[in-house]
Amino acid sequence: MGEKLECWECSSSLQCCGNLWPKARYPSMTAVEAGKTVAELEGSESKVVLFSVMGMTCAACAGSVEKTIKRLPGIREAVVDVLNHKAQVLYLPSMVNEERIREAIEDAGFEAKVIEEDSNYTSTQICRIHIRGMTCTSCSSTIESALQSLRGVHKARVALTTEEAEVHYDPKILTHNHLMEAIQGTGFEAILISTGEHISKIELKIDGIKNDQSLGAIERSLRALPGVETIAIYPEINKIAITYIPHMTGPRTFIEVIESTGSGCFKAVIFPNDEGREALRQQEINRYFKLFIWSLAFTVPVFLTSMVFMYIPGVKRVLDVKIVNMLNIGLLLRCDFATPVQFIIGRRFYVGAYRALRKGSANMDVLIALGTNAAYFYSLYVVERSVFSRHFKGNDFFETSSMLISFILLGKYLEVLAKGKTSQAIAKLMNLTPETATLLTQDDKGDVVSEKQIDIRLIQKDDVIKVVPGSKVASDGFVIWGQSHVNESMITGEARPVAKRRGDMVIGGTMNENGVMHVKVTRVGSESALSQIVRLVESAQMAKAPVQKLADHISKYFVPLVIVLSLSTWLSWFLAGKLHAYPKSWIPSSMNYFELALQFGISVMVIACPCALGLATPTAVMVGTGVGATQGVLIKGGQALESAHKVNCIVFDKTGTLTVGKPVVVTTKLFKKMSIKDFYEFTAAAEVNSEHPIAKAIVEHAKKITEEQNHSWPVAHNFVSVSGHGVKAIVLNKDILVGNKKMMLDHNITISADAEEILAEAESLAQTGILVSMDGEVAGVLAVSDPLKPGANEVISILNSMKIKSIMVTGDNWGTANSIARQAGIETVIAEAQPETKATKIKELQASGYTVAMVGDGINDSPALVAADVGMAIGAGTDIAIEAADIVLMKSNLEDIIIAIDLANKTFSRIRLNYFWALGYNILAIPIAAGILYSSTRFRLPPWIAGAAMAASSLSVVCSSLLLKNYKRPSKLNNMEINGVKIE
């Protein structure tokens, strides 16, 4: 963050006066504007404008645009999207207007126009909803179809394993209430989780409310605050839920407003949160456990009276006592105990079956309802015949229906218990942040006046918090006082503590080790790095792998096919018995041929398991992405996993990927009679507007030459960044060009033999030669060195052993590129490549039959990352919101590429194993349940055992996926040595 907050009045640093605009951030502000307080200026309502910005080709361009906009007074936020050529600006109309912003962008060398009112522009908001009641892929497909049929929905994903829906929709057409109504219309319960990527939600309990007028006054006061999105009031429990933009307002502001409303008679506190992810998961686990216990309590007597007591002579005589005609005590007891199991405890299966059939689909609940109904209602028929007949002898199947429901509930209980473990990675991430934080109050001089403990949910942007040794950092921010070492392994996977001092960024949820720090909060709530990581992993766990299409396709026809097979089985055995096609000795003494046929039919119906197929992919993806997150490798879903395991060619960017990414100027040669200080004055003035690592290295070196850390460079006019080549600008009426050899030749600038010799020498030493021209003549040559990352050679060697081809593509010159490639052990090199050239090369490799992964810095290489089968963003650090990448390597370590590919291989192998088991189980189990072995072995599966086998098959798939939690990094990496130090 490093910005010097210098006051307009007294030129002191870091908010001396507490509320004046800093010079560094608003250099063009007038004295009158500067005299106004932040509260006066920010009190006016902010506006959002969207610009189309043409001419941007890389992150350096986007950085220049963003920097230019943020220099204007009254700019609250600016976000530049280089991929879609757009810039979104949040500004104060009282200080700046759209035309002034547009002019500033064009002064930076880009073409801009307002597109806010463009009818072709569609905004997108992301809504996440928890869904209760789904049992198999048929349910999730039904909900997904209902959501996607809504006008305004761009994309909808429903995950069976996480029981959540993620919907991308146009808020101008729809609201989240429409989405929830659509889900509820399919017969499922919907609970809102969040309504936007950068929108937070807080629930407050308000004491002192006497009537509706009080609530109305509070609501009006809150709606007047900037940044408040929605307000929901629950008068029966005095609760108010507020969604808001965290960088504009926050919970403490809400509490202050509420308590200042109505002459201070209201008191507001954070509402106890019992609707969290884990709370909902625990509720479901408890619900299934209670259902199973109740079912067991009623089923045990049914089991004992039908299968145990009948073999105890004294008890058997009591149970055989007739009540009415052939109705005995045992049969009546079984009917009485089985009925609550069928209709009260088993009600959820009827509800699920009704929901599915109403929408024209069939799920697991349909099979269970049909199977148990067949057994129960045949048994009820036996009871009725026994009541009205003196001679009827029939066998009931009450134990079949009740035991079947009990075993299925037990299987469901174990399944949700195991499914909960598949999402433990998310739970661990969400529990990283502490419950409380120490909030500091400072005076005008920056001295601490007071400190108090507050709930972490009350932290707001620009708060200053104290972090003591042994405690966790409460929120993202930068250090303004103190120094320490922070363990960031829980977020980035980096094992070694990172030194932090004034100006350094810290991440919420990381552990402070040995020093006291004062941290100014920059991001809270949904904007924090931890929240973004959690959201990315959650989104990844919802994304379907292409291989899952097989299960989705099978599930459409599976249940109807099983019903047909079940009826065919019953009919075949019934007709065979009626026509005496098999010996009478095949029929058990306690049955007749109809009852034998009925048992075979029910067994077929309840042993088939579409759930195992539906869980095969998502559970493995959940565990795999969770394990990846703990390793510092963020994998964006099943598509990325499936593509990564096929990779046989990796294209590397050079700067910041293969090299350290922090270049330094090592030599300078002048060809004009001028001082070195003047030379760097012009060069740095041109390069200070660029975000390229080499430009930053030149500016840092220039600061050392001038011996001033905060030196004020001359203003550069007509600045243009030429992607892949360099920059040009007018500085103090001189035409300045800073770039590579090709840029000079493109501008018809002659390069002397001496300059050529220095460039060649730099290239031979793996250094980048930079030419500086002034008014059409080469004024000097800089040599910039960016060393190879430690361990890069070993990683390339391991990739070669894995039969994965390595290629380096860079915008740097051929000499430097070849030298770096030789050091890394890469044979194929493409140099002086512009961003679009990298993407073209990747497409050529794909056309040749390669599955290509691109490893780059996430933004500069965005065209190539998008073009590749798998885009890997390295060096992302805490900035994980990189849409172009499929995999984000947070530690910036090259060995994580191998971990990502190895984990993808292991996960996909587990998916294949799950499918093999799920398909194999159904292919083998259904014929056995249908009696294929009965003729030769007299082996048959009673329906209750078939139900237990069905429940066990789903559980076995989930447990198979859970084995991925034991993932260990490849042993080849454990043998790596970097600079003589063995990596463990």
**Inter-CA distances, 952 with 138, 174, 407, 944, Å:** 20, 42, 9, 12
Residue type, 523: R
- Kindly give, in sequence order, each residue whose CB lies less than 8 Å from that of residue 145, ignoring residues fewer than 6 positions away: none
List b or e across 593-622, with b for residues whose CB sees 16 or more CB atoms inside 10 angstroms: bbbbbbbbbbbbbbbbbbbbbbbbbbbbbb
Q: By C-alpha distance, which of 133, 130, 177 is closest to 158?
A: 130
Question: Tokens 């929709």 map to which residue?
Answer: 169
DSSP, collapsed to helix, strand or coil, labels residue 20 as: coil
Backbone angles phi, psi at 361, to 5 degrees: -125, 175
Which secondary structure element, helix H or strand E, spans residue 937, and what is its range?
helix 934-937
* Cα 196 to Cα 193: distance, rounded to the nearest angstrom: 10
| Distance (Å, whole) CA 355 – CA 364 | 12
596 with 526: CB under 8 angstroms?
no
Do residues 362 and 138 lie in contact, with contact meaning Cβ atoms separated by under 8 Å? yes
Residues 6+ apart with CB under 8 A from 363: 135, 136, 138, 139, 352, 353, 356, 559, 610
Pair of tokens at residue 94 = 């009282």
Q: Two tokens at 441?
A: 């109050």
Number of CB atoms found within 10 A of residue 670's CB: 15
Q: Which of 873, 981, 423, 806 is nearest to 656 (CA)?
A: 873
Q: Residue 568 corresponds to which tokens in the numbers above?
A: 């065919």
Nearest Cα to Cα of residue 905 among 856, 964, 952: 964
630-657 burial, b at 16+ Cβ within 10 Å, e below that, comes to: bbbbbbbbbbbbbbbbbbebbbbbbbbb
Nearest Cα to 781, choosing from 798, 795, 808, 763? 763
CA distances from 885 to 124, 852, 861 (A): 20, 13, 10
Q: What stretch of H or E contains 865? A: helix 862-867
**What is the rounded CA–CA span in Å between residue 567 and residue 580?**
20
- For the CA atoms of 582, 586, 589, 591, the dihedral, rounded to the nearest 10 degrees, stands at -60
- Which has the closest alpha carbon to 331: 247, 266, 387? 387
Bridge-based pairing state of the strands 47-54 and 111-114: antiparallel
Pairing of strands 484-487, 498-500: antiparallel
For residue 457, give both structure tokens: 């949910």
Residues involved in catalysis = 653
Q: C-alpha angle 565/568/569, rounded to 5°?
A: 85
Q: How far apart are CA 331 and CA 397, in angstroms?
A: 10
d(C-alpha 708, C-alpha 681), whole Å: 12
Start-to-end Cα distance in the chain: 33
- Of 332, 259, 267, 280, nearest to 163 (Cα)? 280
Q: Which amino acid is at 134?
A: M
* Chain centroid, CA 949 distance in Å: 35
